[in-house]
Amino acid sequence: MLRNSRRSLARAAVAACSLALLAALAPGAAAVPDHGGSHGRPAYKRVGYFTQWGVYGRNFQVKDLDTSGQAAKLTHINYAFGNVSSDGRCFTGNIPGEADAWADYARPLDAAGSVDGVADTAEQPLAGNFNQLRELKAKHPGLKVLISLGGWSWSTHFSDAARTPASRKAFVSSCIDLYIKGNLPVDGTRGGAGAAAGLFDGVDLDWEWPGSAGDTDTVFRPEDKQNFTALVREFRAQLDAYGKSLEKRKHYELTAFVPTAPAKIDAGFEVHRIMRDLDFVNLQGYDFHVSGEKTTAQQSALYARGDFSVDQTVRDWLRRGAPARKLVMGIPFYGQGWTGVSGGGDGLNQPAQAPAPATWAAGYEDYKALKKLADSGTYTLHRDRRGGHAWLFDGTTLWTYDDPQVLRTKTSYIRERGLGGAMFWSLDGDTADGELMTAVDRGLSRS
């Protein structure tokens, strides 16, 4: 649908007239903010990351986004992740640890596992997560899906891809060809030219981090800062050119995941320049402290004097020239945990021996599991109401995480500061009925 179609403009005019009439009939009534977007979707962005690998061990399928109620409350789904090859191209395939075309578009879903209740056939060119996301969009008009490129493990070759004008042009062109035009490699009966056309509505750049260290094998250079600006400009130019070439013109969104540490911001981001071309950025609002550290600490506090915090992150980006409306607050749907905690008290800011045992990875646990711990009676729930964070402690093991009460505080902050919305890593961490997603939705929907 055209972003500024005559039909949309007409609906907006009718809505504006209706609000004006209501105001005239009820003088003195409080103004009602317009939170509606196209198809009644909220004006605040609700951006959720869906993990490619979550369909395996976690058994979190695209259909679960629908049955949990999350899809009805989301504006964007970021599909994590697309990889960058050593020669600076977007690519896919069945390469362990590097790409998973089987999960992306080859894996058949039966009727019970499909969003539309229809089993995939052997002949259809698109199956897997991509086809289910297409079905999800059909069921929830207005929901956008972006391909997220990189992530912690797959940012390895971003610096090389962004290094020269020629490499940037080739890199961006390959990503648009693969994901936006949907020209997938043939995998048996799957894939082919245009197989995924129309699925992705834009690109999310998750380069961790330009100009500073990320994962152990990730290349970084001082010139990454300027090269990231140029890369963003190249993506914007090519996305716009392709969108204008379509019979029905389309605006493809361009976003980025950006860090909380001031040193990393300054090493890698010309903030006032990149914000011209980005639709919005997703702020890192978690992992302020992680379970590999030797002392327990908050991982996602709204306020924390002398420490990383969401408020500090927002203020740092504002001071460097980012518009508030383009800042989307990152929220964790998981917790960081330590065991062997000594020192007594409530366990926070105390020595710890190791990351806490957990379901999938030591020191990292989904909210749905932490909710069960909180309800078990074996842990005490602690809150720093002024700081806006919570943690569980049983005398030995501590988990720091966000629950619905914390999210009510954070969504109030988003509204009061005029931010763009909220982002979540990752959707599979929520409860089966979408408890955290519902808390955010209610918080952002308040007048």
User: If you write DSSP's letter for every residue of 323-337 in order, what string do you get?
Assistant: -GGGEEEEEESEEEE
Q: Report the distance separating Cα 59 and Cα 61, nearest Å.
A: 6
Whole-number average pLDDT of the chain: 92
- What is the share, in percent, of the chain residues with pLDDT greater than 70? 90
pLDDT bin (cut points 50, 70, 90) of residue 446 is: confident
3-state helix vs strand vs coil in the chain, percent to 5? 35, 20, 45
Q: Using only the alpha carbons of the chain, give its radius of gyration.
A: 22
Q: Report the distance separating Cα 426 and Cα 78, nearest Å.
A: 10
Pairing of strands 380-384, 389-393: antiparallel
Q: Which residues of 69-91 are buried (b: 16+ CB within 10 A; e: fewer)?
A: bbbebbbbbbbbbbbbbeebbbb
H/E element holding 339? strand 334-339
Q: Which tokens sit at 399?
A: 């988990």
**Weakest mean pLDDT among 17-21, 71-75, 305-309, 415-419:** 17-21
Q: Report the distance separating Cα 82 and Cα 191, nearest Å.
A: 16
| Residues annotated as catalytic (active site), given as ranges | 208
- Same domain as 221, residue 145: yes
- Same domain as 56, residue 23: no
CA distances in angstroms from 215 to 156, 159, 255, listed in the order given: 8, 13, 21
**pLDDT, position 293:** 98
- Same domain as 107, residue 10: no
DSSP state of 429: G
- Crossing angle for the helix pair 404-417 and 435-445, nearest 10 degrees? 30
- Same domain as 274, residue 417: yes
Has residue 179 been placed in a domain?
yes
Has residue 113 been placed in a domain?
yes
Taking the model in full, what pTM does it have?
0.91
Q: Report the distance separating Cα 67 and Cα 33, nearest Å.
A: 29
Residue linked to tokens 């001031």: 262
- Same domain as 51, residue 13: no
- Same domain as 256, residue 134: yes
Residue linked to tokens 């390895």: 156
The pLDDT of 63-83, averaged and rounded, is 98
Sequence-distant (6+) residues with CB within 8 A of 334 are 364, 365, 366, 367, 370, 401, 425, 426, 429
Q: Report the distance separating Cα 134 and Cα 408, nearest Å.
A: 32
Has residue 355 been placed in a domain?
no
More confident residue, 31 or 315: 315
Has residue 286 been placed in a domain?
yes
- Same domain as 224, residue 101: yes
Has residue 340 been placed in a domain?
no
Q: Report the distance separating Cα 213 and Cα 225, nearest Å.
A: 13
- Same domain as 79, residue 26: no
Domains of the chain: total = 2
The pLDDT of 194-216, averaged and rounded, is 98
Q: Report the distance separating Cα 67 and Cα 362, nearest Å.
A: 29
Cβ 253 vs Cβ 144: under 8 Å: yes
CATH of the domain at 421: 3.20.20.80
The pLDDT of 390-404, averaged and rounded, is 98
More confident residue, 25 or 145: 145
- What is the share, in percent, of the chain residues with pLDDT greater than 90? 90
Q: Report the distance separating Cα 24 and Cα 419, nearest Å.
A: 30
**pLDDT, position 18:** 38
Pairing of strands 421-425, 327-332: parallel
The pLDDT of 217-242, averaged and rounded, is 98
Q: Report the distance separating Cα 180 and Cα 312, nearest Å.
A: 35
Q: Report the distance separating Cα 311 and Cα 327, nearest Å.
A: 12
Q: Which residues of 328-353 are buried (b: 16+ CB within 10 A; e: fewer)?
A: bbbbbbbbbbbbebeeeeebbebebe
Has residue 16 been placed in a domain?
yes
Q: Report the distance separating Cα 434 and Cα 404, nearest Å.
A: 11
Sequence-distant (6+) residues with CB within 8 A of 365 are 334, 335, 337, 356, 358, 359, 399, 401
The pLDDT of 105-130, averaged and rounded, is 98
The pLDDT of 175-204, averaged and rounded, is 98
pLDDT in tens, 337-351: 999 999 999 999 999
- Same domain as 186, residue 140: yes
Q: Which tokens sit at 162?
A: 């962004």
CB count in 10 Å sphere of residue 129 = 25
The distance from CA 428 to its chain's CA centroid, rounded to whole angstroms, is 12
pLDDT in tens, 277-286: 999 999 999 9
Residue 168's domain comprises: 43-335+404-445
Does position 154 have pLDDT exceeding 50, yes or no? yes
Pairing of strands 280-283, 99-100: unpaired
- Same domain as 47, residue 26: no
Has residue 341 been placed in a domain?
no
Nearest to 334 by CA among 276, 286, 280, 397: 286
**pLDDT, position 27:** 32
pLDDT bin (cut points 50, 70, 90) of residue 447 is: low
Phi, then psi, of 209 in degrees rounded to 5: -135, 145
- Same domain as 137, residue 104: yes
H/E element holding 47? strand 45-51
- Same domain as 123, residue 55: yes
Has residue 96 been placed in a domain?
yes
The pLDDT of 429-442, averaged and rounded, is 98
